[in-house]
Amino acid sequence: MKTFKHGGVHPEENKLSAGAAIEILPVPEHVSIPVSQSLGAPSKVVVEKGASVKTGQLLAKGSAFISSNVHSSVSGKITRIDEVTDTSGYRRPAVIIEVIGDEWEEGIDRSPEIVSDIRLSREEIIQKLNEMGIVGLGGATFPSHVKLMIPEGKKAEYLLINGVECEPYLTSDHRLMLERGREMMIGVTILMKGLNVGKAWIGIERNKPDAIAHLENLCKEFPGIQVVPLKVKYPQGGEKQLIKAVTGREVPSGKLPVEVGCVVNNVGTALAVYEAVQKNKPLIERVVTVTGKSLKKPNNLLVRIGTPVNKLIEFAGGLPEDTGKVINGGPMMGKALSSLEVPVTKGTSGIVVMTQKESRRTSVINCIRCARCISVCPMGLEPVLLAQLSENQLFEEAEKEKILDCMECGSCHYTCPAGRPLLDYLRLGKNKVGVIIRNRGTK
């Protein structure tokens, strides 16, 4: 069975909500839509306080090459343009809208009909994705239109669709493949056209046999698309790991996947691409898994961007008494939230609620040099060494040991028997090395 070779762990899957069909979360009374929801430069607000907006109206415009548009997910009145605490734990600019009705912008096709003819040309597709604010929904939120623009001198050969969902607990992609498979496949076809490639692979881990079977069936109707079942192993959803698992190619250190002719997109992104191109619908809602062992009703919700996290938890049966931590994203790579008022953004793939007991880290003792971190590191790094170097501020040394290759998958900390916060120090080191390199550039 196919998988990536180096490292990896297999945490308990805990896919509690795998059987729960996607439900639509009612529109809340207020939303706060962060102005910057993608990697790259912050977007520029184009609306004013007090203005009325419709669902799907442009709120902020991408301001640079790597930047993306943000649209209103509801209709109503803009009460404030202010800073609110977002997933980063800091206060960032956002547009706060008081919801009045649900009036959509004209031109958005809201009918359930599936449109399979692709009328737009390659350039028009890229233009459309830019306009509709489509970003990678796997969590990294990289603007999708930029991904389709292959740098000069490079050529994309394959499109890889990430349906791996290797994070424990999360099931949003799984449900999406089952319930919106056909639309997603059209999205994949659009992406193939946008990239000008003839072959697309959908990587899915073996723990989702129903999704594999469903999509394999659909593949018969869509030429050039093929499902690749993969062995269950974390972090297979990492771009470089997925490429290695599916094609056997290895992306060189510090380079982008296009170096080996691959472009990776998430299944959720493929669906958003379908909706943007065929239905003219901006990215204003996404599927979010709301889960946790203590939660009454773990489920998958279709949520408008900007909805506060506590609304989602309420819908899933309310916040349990002994909650110790709420994570935005999966338990391996997600961010712990400091407030439940934080809005859902384009990058929110799941909300995981953990009990007090689950949320405290194990006590830290001396490293016993068992080297488990080295054997699980998917990038072939030595986390123990890198953590030591950054703890002792030897950042230049750490750079030589390829600290920047770290993808922050967390396998090292997960597996460390001494409970050492390896990834914390790796992150610290990565930050500092980044600063050193930037300073070098300015000199």
Positions 22 through 81 that interact with another protein (CB under 8 A)? none
Stretch that binds another protein, among 106-114, 200-208, 220-228, 319-327 (CB under 8 A): 319-327
Q: Closest by alpha carbon to 377, among 332, 336, 407, 334?
A: 407
CB 278 within 8 A of CB 270: no
Estimate to the nearest angstrom the gap between the alpha carbon of 11 and the chain centroid: 19
CB 133 within 8 A of CB 142: no
Closest approach, Cβ 431 to another protein, in A, equals: 6
Q: Closest by alpha carbon to 359, among 338, 343, 376?
A: 338
Closest approach, Cβ 411 to another protein, in A, equals: 8
Stretch that binds another protein, among 38-46, 127-135, 181-189, 427-435 (CB under 8 A): 427-435
**Is 46 strand, coil or helix?**
coil
Stretch that binds another protein, among 103-111, 154-162, 215-223, 371-379 (CB under 8 A): 371-379
Q: Closest by alpha carbon to 117, among 274, 346, 311, 316?
A: 274
Positions 401 through 420 that interact with another protein (CB under 8 A)? 402, 405, 408, 410-411, 413-419
103 lies in the site for another protein, by CB under 8 A:
no
Name, in order, each residue with C-beta under 8 angstroms of 1's C-beta and a sequence gap of 6 or more. Answer: 206, 229, 230, 231
397 lies in the site for another protein, by CB under 8 A:
no
117 lies in the site for another protein, by CB under 8 A:
no
Kindly state the number of chain residues that form the binding site for another protein, as judged by CB under 8 A.
85
Distance CA 351, CA 331 (A): 9
Closest approach, Cβ 4 to another protein, in A, equals: 9
298 lies in the site for another protein, by CB under 8 A:
no
CA triple 231-234-236, angle to 5 deg: 65
Closest approach, Cβ 168 to another protein, in A, equals: 7
94 lies in the site for another protein, by CB under 8 A:
no
379 lies in the site for another protein, by CB under 8 A:
yes
Distance CA 31, CA 306 (A): 5
CB 350 within 8 A of CB 290: yes
Handedness of CA 81, 86, 91, 92 (dihedral sign): negative
Cβ distance to another protein smaller for residue 201 or 425:
425
Among 258, 316, 351, 354, binds another protein (CB under 8 A): 354
423 lies in the site for another protein, by CB under 8 A:
yes
Cβ distance to another protein smaller for residue 186 or 327:
327
CB 192 within 8 A of CB 224: yes
Positions 221 through 260 that interact with another protein (CB under 8 A)? 240, 244, 250-255
Site track 153-182 with another protein (rule: CB under 8 A), x = hit? ---------------x--------------
